[in-house]
């Protein structure tokens, strides 16, 4: 399925054992030019692609 021109974002739970206790959720957005790859391996779905960081930071709510 082509998503040309669409903005794609992901929200996922933060794993405190693997990722630490700094957050509860991780949010990522994929906008602009580029490609997002989706692959199903067994019961897992892997999302990948080429990235460039445009904005980086944290917020406290």
Task: Say what the pLDDT of residue 45 is.
Answer: 87
Encode pLDDT of 8-44 as tens digits. 777 888 888 888 888 888 777 766 766 778 889 999 9
Evaluate whether 30 touches 49 at the Cβ level (below 8 Å): yes
How far apart CA 45 and CA 56 sit, in angstroms, is 26
Task: Say what the pLDDT of residue 43 is.
Answer: 92
Q: How far apart are the first and last CA of the chain?
A: 36
CA angle 43–1–30, rounded 5-degree value: 80
**At 47, is the pLDDT very low, low, confident or very high (cuts 50, 70, 90)?**
confident
Residue 5 DSSP code:
T
């Amino acid at each position: 399925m082509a998503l040309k021109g669409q903005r794609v974002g992901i929200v996922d739970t933060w794993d405190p054992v693997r990722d630490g206790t700094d957050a509860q959720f991780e949010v990522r957005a994929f906008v602009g030019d580029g490609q997002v790859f989706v692959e199903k391996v067994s019961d897992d779905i892997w999302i990948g692609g080429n990235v460039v960081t445009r904005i980086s930071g944290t917020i406290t709510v």
